[in-house]
Amino acid sequence: MSHTDPVQFINGQWQAGLGHAVSSSNPARNEVIWQGKTASTDQVNDAVLSARQAFESWANISLEARVAVVTKFAELLAENKDALATTIALETGKPKWETTGEAGAMVAKVAISLKAYNERTGTVENPMPGAKAFIRHKPHGVVAIFGPYNFPGHLPNGHIVPALIAGNTIVFKPSELTPRVAQEMLKLWEQAGLPKGVINLVQGEVETGKALASHKLIDGLFFTGSSNTGHILHEQFAGQPGKILALEMGGNNPLVVKDVSDIDAVVHDIVQSAFVTTGQRCTCARRLFIEANEQGDAILARLIEVTKNLTIGYYDDEEQPFMGSMISEKAALSLVDAQAKLLAFGATSVVELKHLEVGTGFVSPGIIDVSDIIADIPDEEYFGPLVKLYRYNDFDKAIDEANNTGFGLSAGLLSDSEDSYNHFFTRIRAGIVNWNKPITGASSAAPFGGIGASGNHRASAFYAADYCAYPIASVEAEKVSLPATLTPGIKF
Ligand SMILES: NC(=O)C1=CN([C@@H]2O[C@H](COP(=O)(O)OP(=O)(O)OC[C@H]3O[C@@H](n4cnc5c(N)ncnc54)[C@H](O)[C@@H]3O)[C@@H](O)[C@H]2O)C=CC1
Ligand SMILES: O=C(O)CCC(=O)N[C@@H](CCC(=O)O)C(=O)O
């Protein structure tokens, strides 16, 4: 492992970066696990040009030929599932049970994307007098794909697979925090026999991202990441209506509890919503609404108990922990800082989030009561295991407050009352709305996207097919012929 390692994949060749030295670490043990140099602006340009050059033949080979490569990739992923799950765990700090699930979701993505391609962007033929009407779809061209660190395999894969099936070529810029996962994924695409230039990998930090996002020759950009970066990209794409931009961003997601009989089941769904993946899911519950009554007190007491007992540990612990480390010590400290700011505003700590070990991303989960300072706190996503608690008296006011956010990714109600859910569903604003289920763990077989600051109405997962191709309407006849009835004023 050295900084001169070939970590960029451009036009079918592995090559060393020509930018500055970077590395990636296992955040749980603070060990360097990858080194390289960032892609220079020239290398980003080469990657875009190689994708451009590969586009025509990739778009024009048969769908079957493209599907054969993508299917081979799924087979290779399945064969290498354990190795990939280990790398994801090593680089993110997530426990192995979770990263095994992530690698499995990557395999499943291929069949789901094929189904979505056919259902949403396939060919439709309609008869009409003297002609046929067709709806067909074509790929956009060269697309830039940006991935986040929390699901460094599954989420970029959710753009890459449908983009390739549709016939696009790709320049992939993974998170700078997870370059090793990206490199392993690309090696599998290479082995699957993807023609050179069809997928390119440019590793680097923000400046590499900027060079790619601002490149004149990309036809689109598919982004999963923070709302801040998504907004920057949206501004950058302003005035370019011809380019497709799909933004999957964060949330400040509400979970409301009302009238429930099974307290343990409720606490389970709260924990699974707020703390899974050490709170590093875009769908995680960030705001928890519990009634200010006796039942609410009982739920909270049990939640405190269960939260304090959640196990935290290394990705490879034999007895697997519920939570691993956060992505970095920096991320862990930013959560400690967020908690301190809320306390300074007047919030009350219910369970304190603590940084557990210097030099690592380990934190314990936290619950902070903000009921008295609702009006003052910023509408921000704290991307970690810190949930804000609101005690409420009036269900409608709780829903108003749940909607009092610029985001709109996921939301949920835990309640035994169907009427309450119907009322909640009618009023709540979010792209994912669940009843008596955790608000994390969204299905790849459904659309996945949010409103407001969470997305730009280009839902991913099953609907990713929609942003990977544009529709073409055709009316076609084998011979040109005079219509039986002529338009008034035309004489033959
Ligand atoms: N809605 C969704 O589907 C999901 C959203 N997320 C969100 O992602 C975030 C966590 O991921 P991060 O990696 O921290 O996101 P991030 O926004 O920091 O980075 C995402 C990607 O954008 C690149 N980038 C950053 N600044 C850039 C710029 N100015 N120009 C071009 N590229 C730039 C990064 O290098 C990285 O490749 C959270 O906010 C989370 O909510 C995460 C998973 C799913
Ligand atoms: O993209 C898909 O195939 C489905 C969406 C998905 O996997 N969502 C996960 C992870 C997204 C995140 O929160 O980072 C989830 O909802 O837990």
User: Backbone dihedral region of 461: left (phi > 0), alpha (psi from -120 to 50 degrees) or beta?
Assistant: left
Contact 189, 76 (CB under 8 A): no
CA atoms of 178 and 34, how far apart (whole Å): 9
Q: Is the CB of 155 under 6 A from ligand 1?
A: yes
* Residue 182: alpha-carbon gap to chain centroid: 15
Q: What is the CB neighbour count within 10 angstroms for residue 342?
A: 23
Is 282 known to be catalytic?
A: yes
Contact 172, 187 (CB under 8 A): no
Write down the catalytic residue from 176, 184, 248, 291.
248
The answer to whether 261 is annotated as binding is no
CA atoms of 458 and 158, how far apart (whole Å): 13
Q: Is the CB of 381 under 6 A from ligand 1?
A: yes
Q: What is the CB neighbour count within 10 angstroms for residue 481?
A: 9
The radius of gyration of the chain's CA atoms, rounded to the nearest angstrom, is 25
How confident is the model at residue 471, as a pLDDT? 97
The answer to whether 71 is annotated as binding is no
Residue 133 sits at φ, ψ, to 5 deg, of: -110, 135
Residue 319 sits at φ, ψ, to 5 deg, of: -85, 105
The answer to whether 452 is annotated as binding is no
Bridge partners (DSSP) listed for residue 455: 248
Ligand 1 center from residue 462 Cα (angstroms):
21
Tokens representing 314 are 């290394």
Residue 180 sits at φ, ψ, to 5 deg, of: -70, -40
The answer to whether 417 is annotated as binding is no
User: What is the best residue among 444, 463, 466, 468 to mutate for testing ligand 2's pocket, by most ligand atoms within 8 Å of CB?
Assistant: 444
Ligand 1 center from residue 384 Cα (angstroms):
14
Q: Is the dihedral of CA 464, 465, 470, 472 positive or negative?
A: negative
Which ligand has the nearest atom to the CA of 464?
Answer: 2
Which ligand has the nearest atom to the CA of 249?
Answer: 1
Go through the domains of the chain in sequence order and give each one's CATH number. Answer: 6-249+455-475 (3.40.605.10), 254-435 (3.40.309.10)
Q: Is the CB of 250 under 6 A from ligand 1?
A: yes
**Distance separating the N- and C-terminal Cα atoms of the chain:** 79
Q: Is the CB of 116 under 6 A from ligand 1?
A: no
Q: Is the CB of 442 under 6 A from ligand 2?
A: yes
Which ligand has the nearest atom to the CA of 39?
Answer: 1
CA distances for 279 relative to 166, 331, 401, angstroms: 33, 11, 21
The answer to whether 45 is annotated as binding is no
Question: Can you tell me which atom of ligand 1 is nearest the CA of 248?
Answer: 1
Q: Is the CB of 94 under 6 A from ligand 2?
A: no
Ligand 1 center from residue 229 Cα (angstroms):
6
CA atoms of 120 and 466, how far apart (whole Å): 7
Which amino acid makes up residue 438? P
Q: Is the CB of 150 under 6 A from ligand 2?
A: yes
Q: Is the CB of 232 under 6 A from ligand 1?
A: yes
Question: Can you tell me which atom of ligand 1 is nearest the CA of 251?
Answer: 41
Tell me the ipTM for this assembly: 0.96
What averages of pLDDT result for each successive group of 10 residues across the chain (492 residues)? 94 98 97 98 98 98 98 98 98 98 98 97 92 97 98 98 98 98 98 98 97 98 97 96 97 98 98 98 98 98 98 98 98 98 96 98 98 92 98 98 98 98 98 98 98 98 98 96 92 90
How confident is the model at residue 484, as a pLDDT? 86
Q: Which residue's alpha carbon is at the smallest distance from atom 4 of ligand 2? A: 444
Q: Which residue's alpha carbon is at the smallest distance from atom 19 of ligand 1? A: 225
Ligand 1 center from residue 312 Cα (angstroms):
25
Ligand 1 center from residue 227 Cα (angstroms):
7
Q: Which residue's alpha carbon is at the smallest distance from atom 30 of ligand 1? A: 210
CA atoms of 40 and 23, how far apart (whole Å): 16
| Residue whose structure tokens are 């959710």 | 158
Contact 121, 137 (CB under 8 A): yes
| Residue whose structure tokens are 């949930």 | 387
Q: Are strands 199-201 and 348-351 parallel, antiparallel or unpaired?
A: unpaired
How confident is the model at residue 124, as a pLDDT? 95
Q: Is the CB of 442 under 6 A from ligand 1?
A: no
How confident is the model at residue 1, as a pLDDT? 86
Question: Can you tell me which atom of ligand 1 is nearest the CA of 236?
Answer: 30
Q: Would the pTM of this model clear 0.95, i.e. be above it?
A: yes
Is 248 known to be catalytic?
A: yes
Write down the catalytic residue from 282, 329, 381, 401.
282
Ligand 1 center from residue 247 Cα (angstroms):
10
SS (H, E, C) the chain: CCCCCEEEEECCEEEECCCCEEEEEECCCCEEEEEEECCCHHHHHHHHHHHHHHHHHHHHCCHHHHHHHHHHHHHHHHHCHHHHHHHHHHHHCCCHHHHHHHHHHHHHHHHHHHHHHHHHHCCEEEEECCEEEEEEEEECCEEEEECCCCCCCHHHHHHHHHHHHHCCEEEEECCCCCHHHHHHHHHHHHHHCCCCCCEEECCCCHHHHHHHHCCCCCCEEEEECCHHHHHHHHHHCCCCCCCEEEEECCCCEEEEECCCCCHHHHHHHHHHHHCHHHHCCCCCEEEEEEECCHHHHHHHHHHHHHHHHCCECCCCCCCCCCECCCCCHHHHHHHHHHHHHHHHHCCEEEECCCECCCCCCCECCEEEECHHHHHHCCCCCCCCCEEEEEEECCHHHHHHHHCCCCCCCEEEEECCCHHHHHHHHHHCCCCEEEECCCCCCCCCCCEECCCHHHECCCCEECCHHHHHEEEEEEEECCCCCCCCCCCCCCCC
Cα three-residue angle 313-317-80, rounded to 5 degrees: 115
